[in-house]
Structure 1
Amino acid sequence: MTGKTFDVDVAIVGGGAAGIGAARRLSGQGLTVWLLEASQRLGGRAWTRHVDGMALDMGCGWLHTADRNAWRPIAEDLGWEIDHRPAAWDKPQPHPRFSASEQAEAHAAFRAWHDRLMASPPASDKASDALADGGRWNGYLQAMSGYISGAPLERISAADYNAYERAATENNWRVPRGYGTLVAASLPPDVVCRPATPVERISLGAPGVTLSTPSGTVRCRAAILTMSTNVLTGDTLRLPDALDPWRHAASRLPLGCDEKLFLRIDGDIELPTETALIADPHDPDSPVFYLRPLDRPVIETFLGGRSAWRVSAEGEAATFDALLGMLEGLLGSDARRHLRPLVASSWSSETYVRGSYSHALPTHAGERAVLAAPFEDTLFFAGEATHPASFSTAHGALETGIRAADEVLSRLLPEPPAIRI
């Protein structure tokens, strides 16, 4: 295919939740649609790895706001099981260095901070400015920010955080077959998928858009761009100068850093199921261990912010060794011989991702609308970072893909299309 020019109506750049959402909306509308995915697989930051007979989600794993999450009816239509058990995050847990009364205090401190942020957002728009001065549990709240946003509270816009909280519900469910499996399985058959086809340059000019890839160029009437904000501002993709405002907006919506590491539980050791243990509730960089999720013989470890960056800096082996040491302190000296490293994510070092999910820097929540705006009815933008409220989620990404596809359809079709997902 080298050197060959392809002519299609719409090219979707990126095969994650947003790209697949756009593809589903464009399907059956009488347009030729190609999806160009830089990696070898579909799903983007929704990625299920099958290890030791288990489906382990390396990225998104929870159907957040499940009562309004559009991936839920898609899973139901496929006949897939949905696990409705609530998460263990806010439940009291037996902990050798975090008593039940201390856990209650920490949870109360989080709720008080949350309520202050929602009721009286600080003038600085920094979420950290709603922390209690010298608060005993401020380190715990910073650790929570690492898991929630992949960044410290000083870098989180209060307005952005509040927009998410107002849109979210408490219903967070799971797909045992894997959220990533669901997303990757949802591409409609009439959309041509080109994996391992990174777009290296985007050129504008009549007619339409030209996308340069290692396999040649794709000339299209319109393109939907769904890549992450860190890719948009990085050096793997050359954009025309006319898109500088979009790149600027993306730079104010950086991806945080979150990683997951799984350890296999082997042999006869008594560990509770569906239990969450924070390694050190006073350490703003503390990991959290989720024991036996979905009753599986694994410990799912969440690292956010600086602790997640250390996975790339120090390597998986050193990180696993440090985690095993922490687990010995939590579970007893016998724990290490029953645990073995299984698999780890590396989102920050993924060339075509470069992080976890977006957060708005203080005073820059409005950049989401800037990034979502079309360019001259030719380039359209989707991805979780373009959602005004459900950013950082797979269902938010899906919704933006549908929104961008509707914008394309209103541009390319003479009559409004029928509404469907």
Structure 2
Amino acid sequence: MPIESWKGGEVDVAVIGAGAAGVGAARQLQLLRPDLSVVLLEASDRVGGRARSIHPFGTDAVALDLGCGWLHGARSNAWTGIAEDVGLTVDRTPAPWSDGGHRLGQDDADARAAGAAVNDFFERVDDYEGDEDADLSAMLSPDDPWSERIYAVGAFMTGGELDKSSVIDLGRYDPGPGPDWRVRQGYGTLVATYGLPVPTVLGAAVSRIDHSGADHIVVSTGKGELRAKAVIVTVSTNVLAAERIAFWPPLPEKIEAASRLPLGLANKLFLRVAEPQMFPDDTHMMGSPHSRRTGGYQLKPFGAPVIEAYFAADLALDLERQGIDAMFDFSVEQLTRVFGADIGKKLSPLAASAWAGEPFVGGSYSYATPRASDLRGVLGEPRDGRLFFAGEACSRARYSTAHGAYETGASAAEALAKTL
């Protein structure tokens, strides 16, 4: 519920950031404490954060998600139930990488060998019992012929290169039981729809949070100043680390934690397909079997006439900086390996994300640098019962997911509801 012509004022609770964590926190507060006035402050021009859906084929057709797209751990994912409650459709088609899903060439010997090597790598990560944390590249077996594939899959998982990411942190990752499902109308549509009952101010970038007062916090925005009894901060770690928001008194431990829990990068390019019958529905393929600089490709998600290309880590950053034409050329070159030299004539660029350059986000999802995994708890620790923090990076086990973000937002709201 956008508030027009907002110029500040007073409120019981201000929630900063209208992504999955902020929307979850605000809705939970409305449920637990209807006596409190709540406002959601969002720097950008839309609700959803890193969940963003587009509808190039019409509002009644399937959506394409430029951000998060899968309900990971769907049976225990809070957004699954929320989607059904708000009247959206949960699609239970098995994800291509799961049992019952479809991967191109999944039965050939190389595909089985690569899959086994990747599984062995993640088992070593899960079983790691070293006293000192290490980076993920230390978990590679010497001379593994599939090390480049492991690098690629590791980048898809963390958004960062293996030598930057913590073994202990990835070992703690647990999205919860259940398969991966999707929302037919889009994950971004889901988060935005759930946020509709919350009074929201768009285009209200917060520049300063003064929590020095004994009974109030002053939030400075480009649209005005707001006095609140309590604040929940849900902005990304890259925004915090860059000190885009100044805290007074300073919170150096938050800035340090955020800087060591940076956002990795995952970008998508959607390719329009001129002859959809050329491709199987909902089928996954890797662009290159022997290079870490590869995309993953989802052919015709929901049967739509598109191919979703997925790039991560350094490759994603390089392609983002070069622009959508470079993303397209790279994808066509990789798809040619399977579909022949003329495939580019049947494809055209439709839409792409560029999360590193999103001014109020700066990336996709957090990973921990070595020895930083415990800083997720530091990042999420409230201050003085009035200043709370939430977001996927605050989740010990469900970081990088929209439901991890939601859970931390709901937890912050519960804690605030008890103390205020």
TM-score range, shorter chain: over 0.9
Equivalent residue, structure 2, for 1:330 = 338
Identity of aligned residues (%): 39
Tell me if 1:159 matches 2:168: yes
Is 124-133 or 18-27 further displaced after alignment?
A: 124-133
Residue 123 (structure 2) pairs with residue 115 (structure 1): yes
Look up the match of 1:127: 136
Residue 408 of structure 1 deviates from its aligned partner by 1.0
Measured after TM superposition, the shift of residue 330 of structure 1 is 2.2
Cα distance in 2, alignment partners of residues 245 and 235 from structure 1: 12
**Separation in 1 of the partners of 2:104 and 2:406?**
38
The count of corresponding residues between Structure 1 and Structure 2 is 408
Q: Which digits, 9 at most, give the CA deviation of each residue in 1:331-374, with x for residues without a partner?
A: 11231111110000010000100000001111111000000100
Whether 1:12 aligns to 2:21 is: no
1:392 partnered with 2:395: no
What letter corresponds to residue 24 of structure 2 in structure 1? G
Cα distance in 1 for residues equivalent to 2:176 and 2:147: 24
Residue aligned with 1:239, SS: strand
Give SS of 1:322's match: helix
Compared CA separation, residues 234 and 212, structure 1 to 2 (3 A): same
2:248 aligned residue (240, 259, 269):
240
Which of the numbers 183, 206, 222 marks the counterpart of 2:230?
222
Shift of 1:9: 0.3
Contact 2:11 2:39 (C-alpha < 8 Å) held by counterparts: yes
- Structure 1 pair 170/152, CA: closer, same or farther in 2 (3 Å)? farther
| Corresponding residue of 1:199 | 206
2:290 is aligned, of 262, 282, 290, to: 282
Q: 2:27 aligns with which of 24, 28, 50?
A: 24
RMSD in angstroms over aligned alpha carbons? 1.8
Aligned to 1:141: 150
What's 1:51 paired with? Answer: 56
- Cα 1:105–1:325 shift into 2, 3 Å: same
Q: Spell out structure 1 runs of 4+ moving beyond 6 A.
A: none
Specify the alignment match of 2:358 in structure 1.
350
User: Where do 1:53-68 residues align within 5 Å?
Assistant: 53=58, 54-68=62-76
User: Unaligned regions of 5+ residues in structure 1, if any?
Assistant: 413-421
More off after superposition, 106-115 vs 202-211? 202-211
1:419 is matched with: none
Counterparts of 2:276 and 2:394, CA distance in 1: 47
C-alpha distance after superposition, 1:232-291 (max 9, x if no partner): 011432223531111111111110011000001113651111111111122112111110
Question: 5+ unaligned residues in a row in structure 2: which ranges?
Answer: none
User: 1:208 and 1:44 mapped to 2: Cα distance?
Assistant: 27
How many Å apart are 1:63 and its aligned residue? Answer: 0.3
Question: 2:347 matched to 1:339?
Answer: yes
Judge conservation of contact 1:57–1:180 (CA < 8 Å) in 2: yes
Cα distance in 1 between the residues matched to 2:341 and 2:282: 22
Q: Secondary structure at the match of 2:302?
A: helix
Q: Are residues 208 and 153 of structure 1, via their aligned partners in 2, closer, same or farther at CA, if it must alter by over 3 Å?
A: same
1:275 and 1:292 in contact (8 A); partners too: yes
1:291–1:121 CA distance, 2 compared to 1 (3 A): farther
Q: Does residue 159 of structure 2 align to residue 150 of structure 1?
A: yes
Contact map agreement 2:121 2:140 (CA 8 A) in 1: yes
Are 2:42 and 2:203, in contact at CA under 8 Å, matched by a contact in 1? yes
Query: Conserved in 2, the CA contact under 8 Å of 1:390 and 1:396?
Result: yes
The answer to whether the Cα contact below 8 Å between 2:149 and 2:292 also exists between their aligned partners in 1 is yes
Counterpart-to-counterpart distance in 2, 1:48 and 1:265: 19
Distance 1:268 1:72, change over 3 A: closer
